[in-house]
Structure 1
Amino acid sequence: MDDALAVDRVLVPVDGSEESLEAVEYAVAVARRYDAALHAVYVLGEEVVRAIETGAVDHEAVAEETEAFTDTVREQCAAADVPVSTAIAYGFSTRRKTTHPGSAILDTAEEIDADFLVVPREPVAGEPGEVLEKAAEYVLLYASQPVLSV
């Protein structure tokens, strides 16, 4: 198969929302189509990051919660025979003004050398914990890789 687009690694940011699960489905399909690996990055939002930094919540508890969600991602990848890796990124910082969900996604894309990004769009009815709702526009504007916004 001779594709004009070479894809070895697909990045999909997740935040525990239904929209990010839908993005995972598309990312798995793209990875499978190009025989690529998938990397899911769980992006933590401002409330969670502040709670971790102030000690109001234990970072281990957050890690366990995100791990439960990324297990779902791993199961979808295993069912499609797509290699997967996962990570957690802070989508907010009290120390760096330029850190936000969009920048966390693009930084991760650069770090893992992603060839293709699948990002969830802003949900119709956003929940406070849904971190990625504003990131899609930023990623579409500044990504150097092809982006599918779903």
Structure 2
Amino acid sequence: MYETILAATDGSEPAHRAVDHALDLASTFDADLHVIYVVDTRRYGESMLTDSETAVADLEAQAMDLLRDTEARADIAVTTEIRNGRPHDQIDAYAEEIDADLLVIGNRGLGAGSEIGSTAERVVRYVDRPVITA
């Protein structure tokens, strides 16, 4: 049913649930699993990050640690990707590149609140492929 699954993470609890769900689905369907982390340059001030290679490097190092942890927990091969920019745009672009059959994303990210998060909402609304939120 699914050949290529893309999970997005930001390190939040909902993202951990989404990645765990994606791992289960990929194992069940013998699908390729990709996990993406997008350094949200809007969250930290795009102009600040553009001028500060150190800040971007630190955020990318945190992302790499998170993705390595995901690989270590998996009993299947996981392809990881780190991108910078607007999360929903980068998730969509990477899904297109790998021709993902399914996206799995947390229903909320690092921001507070009980409603669906803005990134999850944008992915559900604008990405032209099936999406599961966890």
**Residue 106 (structure 1) aligned with residue 92 (structure 2):** yes
Tell me if the contact between 2:33 and 2:78 (Cα under 8 Å) persists in the aligned partners: yes
The alpha-carbon deviation at position 57 of structure 1 amounts to 3.2
The alpha-carbon deviation at position 139 of structure 1 amounts to 1.4
Which position in structure 1 is the counterpart of 2:39? 44
Gaps of 5+ in 2: none
**Residue 142 (structure 1) aligned with residue 122 (structure 2):** no
The alpha-carbon deviation at position 67 of structure 1 amounts to 0.9
The total of aligned residue pairs comes to 129
- Please identify the structure whose Cα radius of gyration is greater: 1
**1:57-102 Cα deviation digits (max 9, x unpaired):** 343322221111111110222xxx32201111223xxxxxxxx321
Which position in structure 2 is the counterpart of 1:85? 79
Which position in structure 1 is the counterpart of 2:15? 20
Q: Percent identity?
A: 29
Which position in structure 2 is the counterpart of 1:3? none
The alpha-carbon deviation at position 18 of structure 1 amounts to 1.7
Instruction: Indicate how the Cα distance of structure 1 residues 140 and 47 shifts in structure 2: closer, same or farther if over 3 A, else same.
Output: closer
Q: TM-score, normalised by structure 2?
A: 0.84
The alpha-carbon deviation at position 40 of structure 1 amounts to 0.7
Distance 1:64 1:39 in 2: 18
Distance 1:29 1:102 in 2: 23
Matched position secondary structure for 2:8:
strand
- Alignment RMSD (CA, Å): 2.2
Tell me if the contact between 2:39 and 2:59 (Cα under 8 Å) persists in the aligned partners: no
Q: TM-score, normalised by structure 1?
A: 0.75
Tell me the amino acid that sits aligned with residue 57 of structure 2.
Answer: E
Gaps of 5+ in 1: 1-5, 92-99
